[in-house]
Structure 1
Amino acid sequence: MNATNQQTDLNNKPRGQLKLLAIMSVVALPIFAAWVMAKFDIGIPDTQKNKSDLVEPVVTAEDWDMPLEPVGYGAPWRLVVTSAEACTDTCMELVHEARQINVALGREAGRVVHVLASGQAQPAGLSERLQNDFPRLEYSTLSTDAYFRSLNEHPESWRQGAQLWVIDPLGRIVLHQDPDEPGKQLLDDLKHLLKVSKVG
């Protein structure tokens, strides 16, 4: 009798282990799947399209006293680096990033220009370096006071140092990219805008 009971216990032991493994997998597999989805951005519903910052309330190039020509239907989209002062290292990195984003647009690159808008003239040496390194870079001016005033209702970090923006063909500043975030976020947003846009 004892031998029979022991044999039954031995037969039941693997079944009990299988049940335990099945229960653990029911809990662990969804957690692992969620981690993979979040890590690799797979299968996540995208209710909010933009990955960079949407500029709300609306700000325009006119609010910055920034002359833009042309403006309106058929005008280009603009990747704009703003710098209230001379273009420092961070500013130069953003100018480089704006150019890289522009190039990465592929066949849509012709619909976009990259611009440096500054509150003061660049020193001669820096200006020469910009022209040599970024021959297709366009230049504009802005009023430092107007620029800071227009961003009063936005995050304070947007008013500190050089910043990267997307301006639509109508002159509205629509997106902001944090200098510490990867430029791919802005690239993805701009690709989406170019795909759905009927202007520019």
Structure 2
Amino acid sequence: MAAKKRSTRRKKGAGDAPELREGGLGSVEDRPSAAVKPKSQAALTRSILRARAVELKIAGASEEQIAKKLGTSQKKVATLLDEATERMQEKFARDVEKARRIEISRLDMLQLALWPHAVGTKSEDRKPDYAAVDRVLKIIAERSKLRGLHVNHVEVDAGSPLEGMAAVVYYLPKNGREADDADGDA
């Protein structure tokens, strides 16, 4: 005879932390208590507190007001807001790097398409198309800017030993690929 299957679902709100029961950032589904490890439950609670602290800060609340509203210390609120700021900065940096890589790929494709015209292999008389040469040079300059290789201007203080010298030294990766390899990407 088959044993009856016991339900592991709890009543809504029974034993949940106050941060999970209240609305605000969206509801958290009821979960069997055995399915959520204490460490991940604490991380979830901290994540919700961090998000609420940010919401309140954006709304104009002071750290003291946020601490009272969330039932925690002002020091913890400051830590939560610092963590949120750090996470946003990291995400922004990742997004910028991703956009940079996409733009470099676009420039590579454009240069590839224009190169035969710029060097004259597409014309019958084997002469370069100077408009294409100009475009390729602009593409190269733009790629250099995106990779941080473009040096616009260098100022030297008056009286410096470098005053009067017209040399600028900068590092140019081999074939323009070393910068990508340093990130672990090929």
Q: TM-score normalised to the size of structure 2? A: 0.25
Higher fraction of helix: 2
Q: TM-score normalised to the size of structure 1? A: 0.23
Higher fraction of strand: 1
Answer with 1 or 2: which has the greater Rg.
Answer: 2
Higher relative contact order (CA 8 A, sep 6+): 1
